[in-house]
Amino acid sequence: MAGLLHQLLSGLVTGGIYASLALALVTIYRATHHVNFAQGEMATFSTYVALTLIEAGLSYWVAFALTVIASFAIGVAIERLLLRSMAHAPVLTSVGVLIGLLLIFNSLSGWFFGYTIKTFPSPFEGNAAGRVLGGYVSAHELGAATVTLVMLLCVFLFFRHTKIGLAMRAAACNPTSSRLVGIRVGWMLAFGWGLAAAIGAAAGMLIAPVVFLDPNMMAGVLLYAFAGALLGGIDNPLGAVLGGLAVGVIENLGGAYVVGTELRLTLALAIIVGVLLIRPAGLLGRTVVSRV
Amino acid sequence: MWNRRTVLKTATLAALAPLRPAFAEGMPGITATEIKIGNTMPYSGPVSSYGVIGKQHAAHFRMINDRGGINGRKIDFISLDDGYSPPRTLEQTRRLVEEEGVAFMFQGLGTPTQTAVRPYLNAKGVPQLFLSSGAGKWADPQHYHWTMGFIPSYQTESAIYGKYILQQKPDAKIGVLYQNDDFGKDYLVGLREGLGERYGRIVVEEVSYEVTDPTVESQVVTLKLAGADVLITAANPKFVAQAIRKLAELDWKPLHIVTNVSTSIGGVLVPAGLKNSVGLISTIFVKDNSDPQWANDPGMKEWRAFMKAYLPDADMSDNNYVGPYSIDVALVQVLRQCGNDLSRANIMRQAANLHDLELPTTLPGIKATTSPTNYRPIRSLEMIRFNGKSWELFGPVITT
Amino acid sequence: MLAGAVLLLAPVFLFTDYHLFQLTLTVTTAVAILGLDLVTGYTGQISLGHGAFYAIGAYVTAILMADCHVPYWATLPVSAAVSAGAGFAIGMPALRLRGHYLALTTFALAVAVPQILKYHGLEDWTGGVQGIVLAKPDPPLGLKLTPDQWLYLFALAIAAPLFLLARNLVRGRIGLAMVAIRDHPLAAEAMGIDLARIKTRTFAISAMITGIAGSLGAIAVQFVAPDSFPPLLSIFLFVGLVLGGLRSQAGAVIGALFVQFLPNLADQISKAAPGAVYGIALIAVLYLMPGGVAGALRRALEAWPQRRPRGALAAATRGPSASPGGTGHVE
């Protein structure tokens, strides 16, 4: 029983990692109806930028803030300069462009910053060994989970209860009508990208202390985050976070108790697909019903 | 329909058809002034971190050329990206052999990638020298005369660990954390060999992870819950660092043995926490640059001078730069021994003709030796224990 | 037609073995993309997992050749059947999933396949992480060809009927139905098209074609291992499809040329960051030609006054090229 509990905790920790990136994915989806395949690599790149700032002498929170702002700017720039011209292209073309971005960011991270693992500082270190809950969850992991939940709350409130959030959702759902009511669709999309990039950067800075920073840090995380976001419903921030946590737990428990670690990835994906078959829009997603 | 367009197309094709390169008679890839060496490396893709090894070789050969080359010939080192994809490795290798006309292939990286080209190179009689892979299968002169590895194999290494455990802790309960690919699985094979028939009773849990997994935290938890008091971690540097740190967080202190691929003090133990790494056991055959005991070692000084002059921007804590330096030195020796007969057959013959070659970055006492029946230039390892500051050698040099 | 045949056969006499080998790989990739195009380009079901079918075809061939000593050409029908079955099996649950959900599911398949191939329980069959080495086929009947020349001809001989099959499929009633399903599933259903049947069958045929490509690839490279079929393979097939142009057989070939030769070009430009060069090239091509190369060619041809689209069928299967507010309704 204790073993199960510990595995569960471990799963929640890993799931927290997926949840934070899933939040960025969902944000960008709500704002633009794009799934940003390059989200993970952008987050890694941002984290490297943060590390460079910290190593240059800035304090953690200053570097954090600057990185988030810089990432926001990069996100806006990508949308305005690159994707805007693709607006009239087939959807699949934009997927191709995002894959291109993924390759570029990944390669640049390795080229500029090298491939050896780097430690990334955490603002949450507790006592000497950072032990909480018997060491199954570290102080940082707890802190990171809190920050993720705070971000979740902010995103949720933003989209639900602010005018800009509403405008962004409108711009994504129905650009033509939005323009008719005076919404500046182009800038809403850009803002959405900026916001997602910023969240991604924060996620990267929360994840790096746990897994060590290296250019391929997010490769696997992206898939799990994607899976978690879809499991929870790609248009629902709360769903994304819950989905991410669920993926972490399923993967852990599946690997520890059901199929062994050699097949746990397969099992986790099979379960997710199974759930999607029963609820095709995800657990908390909205089912879109079209009328003829 | 034969119209103008078709004729034009055909003519263009004919004009563009590439010509075969001209070879010196009997010595492909060799001219009076040049030795052409081919290599494939993953410069892109998931394991592109190993691309630095290719950079290292290129720099080393530049140094050799600056010093006048070998017997008056300069080295033309052509390294191509294979993205760690076996079909691409085959394509690039064929390009190097058939289009560029290299004399031989050197330090190809990866087990599945080099397995894909081994039949081709052996059929064509092209030396596949000093592979950058710890698989045991490269030492097979009977079936694959042209293929030779260099470093001690992973199986050899883990067999040593198995025997060590049987000696030191015969009633141990072993947990194994391994990477789910040829590297990690070779460790299991070697461990089975080292522990013999006691394997089933003594190993309580084997847990794997994929390279794309973000963390191995849950695997470590599983191993602790299985009651292991010895942990063997066959993982790459990132995951070894994670495992070491998790052990400290869990306050679990098993006898921890890690693969010698991941022992760099700067690259692994510092991120993991030097205090957390005390007591770590491994084996080694090269010197670690971040280890204070080699601060004034002549071989390492030579290496540092080289790095400063030819790879000034390199990350000095990246251990991937150290071992390959000695492999380059060994190759240069092979080529010198060839004299003016640089035919492929003689290159292979000389590669299998190294006698106690001293190498600058390997441990004192570990030298390269080969013979027509021994295709394992380095067969020795020494066991090491981390004392918080550096790796202490203990026990004898183990030669297998 | 004859001009095309000359173009395809000329390399046998003019090119070196190495370049023929590259062309053979290009042909197999083109066939793989051809298969992918059926589900993603025509029916609009985005698949990021066709690498899985490629792997299935490759391993079926490898296991039959290595363990059962079946001659290489005889493995193709078996591989086709197994891949088609797999495609049907995926196509059934795929009915329930739309757009990104389907993309994830197919990608999950692509990620799971290497893990399954490495699984020690199946090692006796798949060779585990070490893979399976195959023997190179010799030209039959004592023909005076090198093995590479023969393999190229063999690949062409297999690819040609597959391209023909795809072409006839999409130009016929089924093709119309596929495009109708992509553009407006509700209207299509209302008109009596059996969505489920068309979609699952398309998936099966698509998987079969890509599976045969995998088999050809295995024969050409003479080696299969889990590392030969990473998730990146599925991504590259998809990238090739988009670069070449959707809904175009010529696009499949163009896309294959990109997939085959762009990495080499990137490698020559930069050893330090070839991935970045590849990504930049990818974005540049898509920026200049959002419909892929074939899409751009199509538009150029249409602009020519003498060229007229041949009939309503061709116009319908071309699909909408641009419309305001985002287009290309992906299922």
B35/B101 Cα distance (integer angstroms): 10
- For residue A41, the model assigns a pLDDT of 94
- CATH 3.40.50.2300 residue spans of chain B: 17-152+304-380, 154-284
Domain encompassing residue A73: 20-220
- The arithmetic mean of pLDDT across residues C304-321, rounded, is 57
Question: Cα separations (Å) of B201 from B35, B197, B205, B254, C121?
Answer: 54, 8, 10, 18, 21
- The arithmetic mean of pLDDT across residues B319-332, rounded, is 92
Question: What band does C76 get if pLDDT is binned at 50, 70 and 90?
Answer: very high
In the CATH hierarchy, which top-level class contains the domain B17-152+304-380? alpha beta
Q: Is position C245 within any domain?
A: yes
Question: What band does A292 get if pLDDT is binned at 50, 70 and 90?
Answer: low
- For residue C3, the model assigns a pLDDT of 78
Nearest CA to A27 out of A205, A221, A200 is that of A200
A132 pLDDT more than 60: no
- Whether residue C209 contacts residue C38, with contact meaning beta carbons closer than 8 Å, is answered with yes
Q: Per the structure block, which two tokens stand in for B123?
A: 């059929």
B94/C218 Cα distance (integer angstroms): 16
Among the ranges given (A111-125, B169-183, C51-65, C233-247), the one the predictor scored with the smallest mean pLDDT: A111-125
Pairing of strands C132-133, B391-399: unpaired
A79/A68 Cα distance (integer angstroms): 17
Ranges assigned E (strand) in A98-194: 131-132, 137-138
- For residue A129, the model assigns a pLDDT of 45
Interface test with C, best of A99, A113, A265 (most C CBs within 10 A): A99
Residue B389 CB coordination number (10 Å): 13
- Chain A residues with beta carbon closer than 8 angstroms to that of C255: none
C136 pLDDT more than 50: yes
Nearest CA to A123 out of A206, A57, A50, A55 is that of A206
Q: Do C276 and A277 touch (CB under 8 A)?
A: no
- Chain A residues with beta carbon closer than 8 angstroms to that of C112: 265-266, 269-270
- The arithmetic mean of pLDDT across residues B77-103, rounded, is 95
Chain B closest-CA separation from residue A284 CA (Å): 26
A220 vs B212, B221, B266: nearest CB: B212
- Chain A residues with beta carbon closer than 8 angstroms to that of C262: none
Question: What band does C322 get if pLDDT is binned at 50, 70 and 90?
Answer: very low
Percent of chain C with pLDDT over 70: 92
Q: Which residue of C has its CA nearest to B83?
A: C263
Q: Which residue of A has its CA nearest to B209?
A: A261
Q: Over the stretch C149-200, which tens digit does the pLDDT of each residue have? A: 999 999 999 999 999 999 999 898 888 888 888 888 888 888 888 888 888 9
Task: Report CA torsion sign: B265, B266, B268, B273.
Answer: positive
Chain A closest-CA separation from residue C188 CA (Å): 11
- Chain B residues with beta carbon closer than 8 angstroms to that of A221: 214
Give me the count of residues in chain B: 400
- The arithmetic mean of pLDDT across residues B180-189, rounded, is 91
Alpha helices in C119-230 (DSSP H): 123-126, 147-171, 173-183, 185-190, 195-221
Chain B closest-CA separation from residue C125 CA (Å): 16
- Chain B residues with beta carbon closer than 8 angstroms to that of A220: 210, 212-214
Q: What are phi and psi of B287, to 5 degrees?
A: -90, 145
Pairing of strands C223-224, C132-133: antiparallel
Question: Cα separations (Å) of A263 from A22, A259, A266, B180, C113?
Answer: 23, 6, 5, 10, 10
- For residue C329, the model assigns a pLDDT of 43
- Chain A residues with beta carbon closer than 8 angstroms to that of C241: 92
Domain total for chain A? 1
Interface predicted TM-score (ipTM) of this complex, two decimals: 0.87
Q: What is the CATH T-level fold of the domain B154-284, as seen in this structure?
A: Rossmann fold (3.40.50)
B311/B316 Cα distance (integer angstroms): 10
Q: Is position C91 within any domain?
A: yes
A252/A246 Cα distance (integer angstroms): 10
Domain total for chain C? 1
pTM: 0.89
Chain B residues within 8 angstroms (CB to CB) of chain A: 44, 46, 48-49, 51-52, 180, 207-210, 212-215, 217-219, 221-222, 225, 237-238, 241-242, 248-252, 266-268, 270-271, 315, 317-318
Q: Is position C131 within any domain?
A: yes
Q: Is position C205 within any domain?
A: yes
Q: Do A262 and C119 touch (CB under 8 A)?
A: yes
B249/A197 Cα distance (integer angstroms): 32
- Whether residue A272 contacts residue A231, with contact meaning beta carbons closer than 8 Å, is answered with yes
Q: Is position A129 within any domain?
A: yes
B313/B106 Cα distance (integer angstroms): 24
Among the ranges given (A176-180, A214-218, A269-273, C325-329), the one the predictor scored with the smallest mean pLDDT: C325-329
Q: Over the stretch A169-215, which tens digit does the pLDDT of each residue have? A: 888 888 888 889 888 888 888 999 999 999 999 999 999 998 899 89
Percent of chain B with pLDDT over 70: 94
Q: Do C18 and B55 touch (CB under 8 A)?
A: no
Nearest CA to B365 out of B293, B284, B264, B261 is that of B284
- Chain A residues with beta carbon closer than 8 angstroms to that of C236: none
- For residue C318, the model assigns a pLDDT of 54
Chain C residues within 8 angstroms (CB to CB) of chain B: 2-3, 6-7, 10-11, 14-19, 21-22, 25, 115, 118, 120, 128-131, 133, 217, 221-223, 225-228, 230, 232, 263-264, 266-267, 271-272, 274-275, 278
Report the run of H or E that residue B391 belongs to, with start and end.
Answer: strand B391-399
Interface test with C, best of A30, A79, A80, A95 (most C CBs within 10 A): A95
Q: Per the structure block, which two tokens stand in for A265?
A: 């990835």
- For residue A55, the model assigns a pLDDT of 92
Q: Over the stretch B239-274, which tens digit does the pLDDT of each residue have? A: 999 999 999 888 899 999 999 989 888 889 998 999
- The arithmetic mean of pLDDT across residues C304-327, rounded, is 53
- The arithmetic mean of pLDDT across residues B106-130, rounded, is 95
Pairing of strands B230-234, B255-258: parallel
B80/B88 Cα distance (integer angstroms): 10
Q: Is position A267 within any domain?
A: no
β-pair partners for A132: A137
Question: What band does B22 get if pLDDT is binned at 50, 70 and 90?
Answer: very low
- Whether the CB of C235 is below 8 Å from some CB of chain A: the reply is yes
Q: Do A17 and B214 touch (CB under 8 A)?
A: yes
Q: Per the structure block, which two tokens stand in for B93?
A: 């290798």
Q: What is the mean pLDDT of chain C?
A: 86
Nearest CA to B356 out of B342, B382, B374 is that of B374
A158/A150 Cα distance (integer angstroms): 12
- For residue B114, the model assigns a pLDDT of 95
- For residue B4, the model assigns a pLDDT of 59
- For residue A197, the model assigns a pLDDT of 94
- Chain C residues with beta carbon closer than 8 angstroms to that of B11: none
Question: What band does B45 get if pLDDT is binned at 50, 70 and 90?
Answer: confident
- Chain C residues with beta carbon closer than 8 angstroms to that of A255: none
Q: Which residue of A has its CA nearest to C116?
A: A263
C10 pLDDT more than 50: yes
Q: Over the stretch A72-91, which tens digit does the pLDDT of each residue have? A: 999 999 999 888 877 777 77
C293/A31 Cα distance (integer angstroms): 30
Q: Which residue of B has its CA nearest to C218?
A: B87
C321 pLDDT more than 50: no
**CA atoms within 13 A of residue B217's CA, in its CB half-sphere:** 31
Nearest CA to B360 out of B304, B317, B284, B315 is that of B304
* CB pairs < 8 Å spanning A and C: 156
Question: What band does B17 get if pLDDT is binned at 50, 70 and 90?
Answer: very low
- Whether residue A101 contacts residue A38, with contact meaning beta carbons closer than 8 Å, is answered with yes
User: C-alpha angle A128/A134/A137, rounded to 5°?
Assistant: 80
- For residue C37, the model assigns a pLDDT of 94
Q: Is position A192 within any domain?
A: yes
Q: Do A101 and C287 touch (CB under 8 A)?
A: no
Q: Do C118 and B98 touch (CB under 8 A)?
A: no
Give me the count of residues in chain A: 292
Q: Which residues have CB under 8 Å from A151's CB, separation 6+? A: A20, A23, A199, A202
Domain encompassing residue C291: 18-318
Task: Report CA torsion sign: C36, C42, C47, C48.
Answer: positive
Q: What is the mean pLDDT of chain B?
A: 89
Question: What band does B25 get if pLDDT is binned at 50, 70 and 90?
Answer: low
Q: Per the structure block, which two tokens stand in for B251?
A: 């306050």
B191 pLDDT more than 90: yes
C104 vs A86, A92, A230: nearest CB: A230
Q: Over the stretch C188-240, which tens digit does the pLDDT of each residue have? A: 888 888 888 888 999 999 999 999 999 999 999 999 999 999 998 999 999 99
Residue recorded with tokens 């950058």? B132
A281/A254 Cα distance (integer angstroms): 24
C331 pLDDT more than 50: no
Q: Which residues have CB under 8 Å from B148's CB, separation 6+? A: B127, B128, B129, B130, B131, B138, B139, B141, B351, B352, B370, B375, B377
Among the ranges given (B39-48, B174-183, B286-295, C303-312), the one the predictor scored with the smallest mean pLDDT: C303-312
A40/A220 Cα distance (integer angstroms): 9
